[in-house]
Each structure stands twice: as C-alpha cells, then as structure tokens.
Amino acid sequence: MKLGIFVNITREKALELARELVAWLDARSIDYVFDPQSAQALGSGKWEEKADLSQHCDAFVSLGGDGTLLLASHYSRSKPVMGINVGDLGFLTEFSPDELWTAMDHLVSGNYSIHRRSQLETTLESGEQLTSLNDVIIEKGSSARRLPTFTILLDNEMLGSYRADGIIIATSTGSTAYSLSAGGPIIAPKSNVFVITPICPHMLTVRPIVISDDKTVKVSVDANPGEFPLKMDGIQKKLLAPGEVVTVRKSPHHVNLVANEKRNYCEILRKKLLWSHEHPTGE
C-alpha cells in the first residue's frame, strides 16, 4: 500500500502529526508520499507532483481542516480519502487527532467503510472541464461598475435573472460551507439534489432553490465592463467575461471519504452547529 499525504502547513499541530505519522509508517514499512508543499515544509524528500499522486497512491490522508481535505479530494480520483481534523469546524474531516492511529490501522488493513459524495462538473465555453466537491461560485468581482445580473437556466429553461453579489451552486456536501453562510439550507448527504444560493441578492424575493441533481444548470453574468471570478471549492479558477456561459451538472466521478463509524451525521450537526443543549450540573 502507498499513501498520499496532504498537510495544512500553516498549522503546527498538523505538521507535528505528519512527523508522527511518518514515524508510524516507517516502523511498519508502509510506503507514502507527500504533495510538494507539504514535503517542503517537513523537509521530506518523499514527494510527487499533485497530478501524479492518484496514479501511484492507493489512498490519501489529509491532516488539517476541510480545506486540506478538499485539496486532497481534487487529486484522489475516487481513491479513499481520510480526513484528520486539525482545523476548526471540520464537517468533512471526521476523525480527531486522538483517533488517528486507530483510523490508520483500519485504513491500512482495509477494514473501513466509505461515504460516497457527489461532485459537480463545470464546463466552460472553451470546453475545459473542472470538478468540485463542495460548490461552484461565481462572484461579481471588483471590476464591475454596477451590480451584475446573473441569468440561470435549468435544462435550457429560464429559471431567473436577478442582480446579486454572486451565486453558489452547491452539492449536499457543500451545503454546510459557503452556501450555508449565504442563507442556503442544510442538505443531508446522499440526497440527490443540489442547491442554488444567491449571494446578497438585490431583491428580497430571490431565495435559494433546491433542484434535482439530474438537472443541468447554465449561468451567465451580464455586466459590462467586468470580469467575474469563477471559484471551485473556494479556489479561483478563471475570470469570466460578460455573457460567458458556465454549464454545471453532476459529475460522473465521486469522492470517497473514509467514514468514522463512531459518528453519524446528526451527531456532527449537533456538535458543529451547537444544536445540543447541555443542562448545567444539578439540573
């Protein structure tokens, strides 16, 4: 077995865990490799370019927050990804640092289960295709002189056209990310839906809408002059020209997250969103 390891190099705790993990793997003669940035931060000579990792690795370990796991998922190509939460909120990174070694035992022995998560596939007018686990975001950008108009089509039928700071198309996985902070609903995993969430719309009647994940969404932005950032999982990929059409649909490829059998989704929501009321001692 060969593992690909991604580390949040801005967190000392993640770097410490990575060093401990290296010692654990070396003691068991388990092969591993880092992405270039993680290897440089750790002073390790064992690294490969991100684009080559899925070809040579059997599974991936993410040491950081959800952002680190999202980065690993982009290069996993459906290989299992195990997330160790060294961040703050951590909806996707199900394992705590204290659970790392038990989780590693299960991973290397093959004794684990998988959460299969849908992805979005975004096609640009150039024909380029991009995938994302959480969301596709188009923002107004800084060059627009007025609030742009976002035009949205579902299966080539007009859904709406409204002014806003941006638009988010999110999977059920991404419903607890940027979409949630913009007022979108929480969607349970494995729901066969996406959510379209406007960012600060000009009209109060514009609201998020949940759609079937077999729909094709087309979005264009009308404002001239202007360039509009297209982001995938929070990473800017391109500046869109006025009127340029972006097509978003369900990807045929999935991300396979290693599941923590000790936790369920309801528990994660209760803990992360503080939905559980704890009575003071004696009440």
Per-residue pLDDT of the chain (283 residues; tens, 9 = 90+): 999 999 999 999 999 999 999 999 999 999 999 999 999 999 999 999 999 999 999 999 999 999 999 999 999 999 999 999 997 777 899 899 999 999 999 999 999 999 999 999 999 999 999 999 999 999 998 766 678 999 999 999 999 999 999 999 999 999 999 999 999 999 998 899 999 999 999 998 999 999 999 999 999 998 777 789 999 999 999 999 999 999 999 999 999 999 998 888 888 888 888 887 664 554 4
Residue with tokens 């923590």: 260
Domain layout of the chain by residue ranges: 2-113+259-272, 119-252
Q: Which helix (H) or strand (E) covers residue 249, if one does?
A: strand 246-258
C-alpha R_g of the chain: 20
- What's the pLDDT score for residue 282? 47
35, 52, 58, 66: which is the annotated catalytic residue?
A: 66
Whole-number Å distance between alpha carbons of 215 and 202: 26
User: How crowded is residue 169: how many other Cβ atoms within 10 Å of its Cβ?
Assistant: 24
- What's the pLDDT score for residue 266? 85
Is 155 marked active-site?
no
- What's the pLDDT score for residue 283? 47
Q: How far is CA 56 from CA 46, 100, 175, 234, 240, in A?
A: 13, 23, 32, 27, 34
Whole-number Å distance between alpha carbons of 111 and 109: 5
Please determine, looking at this structure, whether the domain spanning 119-252 carries the CATH number 2.60.200.30: yes
Whole-number Å distance between alpha carbons of 34 and 40: 9
CATH of 2-113+259-272, picked from 3.40.190.10, 3.40.50.10330, 3.40.50.720, 3.40.50.180, is 3.40.50.10330
Q: What is the pTM of this model?
A: 0.90
- What's the pLDDT score for residue 260? 92
Identify each DSSP E strand in 8-156 by its residue range. Answer: 31-34, 59-64, 80-85, 114-123, 129-132, 135-139, 149-154
